[in-house]
Copies of this chain bind each other. A is one copy, B any other.
Amino acid sequence: MQENYFHSETVLLGKGLPSGGPWTPASLAAAAPSLLAEQLSLPAAVLSASALQHNLLWMREFAQAYGCQLAPHGKTTMSPALFRMQLDAGAWGITLATAPQTVAAHGEGVQRVLLANQLVGKGNFELIASLQQRDPGFWFACVVDSADNVAALGRYFSARGQQIKVLLEIGLAGGRTGVRDDAQAQAVLDEIARWPDAVALVGVEVYEGVASDEAGVRAMLQRSLAQWQAIRANGGFRRLPAILSGAGSAWFDVVAEEFSVLANDADAQIVLRPGCYLSHDVGIYRQAAERIHASNPIARTMGSSLQPALRLWAYVQSRPEPGKAIIGLGKRDAAFDAGLPVPALHYRPGDAAATAAAAHWKVTAMMDQHAFLELQADDVLQVGDMLCFDISHPCLTFDKWRHLLVVDDAHRVVGAVSTQF
């Protein structure tokens, strides 16, 4: 049932495919090529079907336990098949970062988008206004932290005879976007009030991931909650329930804890926006998951944690020196800004099964198309051996691939998903 998401008829091009083709996710699933039988060109990016399913259900259960709704940040995967999987599993909507991402998601059937950024510039206004005009059933809201931006939105959407929904964004001094203090917030709210037809305030939003520690995160969340309550008290929301939204992929548990004081408030709709839970990783987000599993009472009772679902396969490309292997995997294939890929499995074509990679094998650097793997001189690795790597930072790994293969636990392809970066 769930695998239908991975059987589209989109034509796939580029790396990580078998010879022949043109291939589609559906024809790949029918051919069921095997990674271990070398029926694909490497490097290839793979998603574990079972780990995706596990992570999907894990986050649904977690959010439900706190009375929160999910609008997973789609910029991580930009894969509409995964968006549909998330929506069918009960997500309220999809969060996105830009107007073109919104157009791509809408084109693939997404009907509710929270843009976790200001919408800036006439070209981007036009993309959204055109969508709203073509599809009156499409729900879209963006965030605002600037009176200038509200005025620009007001002028544009008013001239188009349209309304744009906005959430006030709370920020942190020294952080990224968002209002720093009450005076900035009030300037934005005052400007919104000047455009009663064109600009509708529907909630408060925060990205707590810019805070440097848990105390900072909690302070941002409490300020956001207080701002939401103040606006509600003043009758400032255009509709009730009004949205209160936070949560990147690292602190979603703390956001759920802090915001769930409103879980039984009929005026409030709490929306969490983690983006990386579906693929997870073994770097920055595994660290976050370990903290969550150790400290969050709900996560502790769930009996399992998120699983890394995104991996990369590549060949040993050269063994030029005893202590070094060059791998056919580079910055063109994997994120490298928050930890380098980590060898997980080793397979020599013809062997019965893949085995765990040696713990001392370590990627020390990457170039565009190559990785440097540090070995011990007597390690058996040879040119043509296959390695499977875990990764850190899924966002910047997804965007290196126009499609990712979906595989079963025997490393056989059961489908694929396209990306639309």
Interface set of A (CB-CB < 8 Å, partner B): 13-20, 38-42, 75, 97-101, 104, 117-118, 120-124, 126-127, 130, 145-146, 148-149, 152, 171, 173-180, 184, 315-321, 326, 328, 331-332, 336-337, 349, 367-370, 372, 382-384, 386, 395-396, 399-400, 402, 420-421
Contacts and interface: CB of A to CB of B under 8 A. Distances in A.
Contact of A123 (B38, B121, B124, B148): B38
A127 to B, nearest CB: 5
A174 B39 CA distance: 33
Contacts of A152: 383-384
Contacts of A121: 38, 41-42, 315, 349, 384, 386
Q: Which 3 A-B pairs have the closest CB atoms?
A: A38-B122, A19-B126, A177-B318
With most chain B CB atoms within 10 A of its CB, the pick from A369, A370, A372 is: A369
Contact of A42 (B124, B332, B367): B124
15 contacts: A16-B100, A42-B123, A98-B328, A117-B317, A117-B369, A120-B316, A120-B328, A121-B349, A121-B386, A146-B319, A149-B383, A175-B320, A176-B318, A177-B370, A179-B320
Contact of A75 (B20, B177, B369, B396): B369
A318 B19 contact: no
SS class, residues of chain A in contact with chain B = loop
Contacts of A42: 121, 123-124
Nearest to A370: B176
A169 B99 CA distance: 47
B402 A145 contact: no
Given A13-B104, A145-B318, A320-B179, A123 B41 contact: yes
A408 to B, nearest CB: 18
A317 B178 CA distance: 11
Contact of A321 (B173, B383, B384): B173
Contacts of A117: 317, 328, 369
With most chain B CB atoms within 10 A of its CB, the pick from A19, A337, A369 is: A19
Nearest to A372: B176
Contacts of A396: 331-332, 368
Nearest to A146: B383
A118 B314 CA distance: 13
Contacts of A14: 100, 104, 420-421
Contacts of A399: 332, 400
B123 A15 contact: no
A420 B11 CA distance: 13
A181 to B, nearest CB: 10
A367 B176 contact: yes
A260 to B, nearest CB: 27
A276 to B, nearest CB: 11
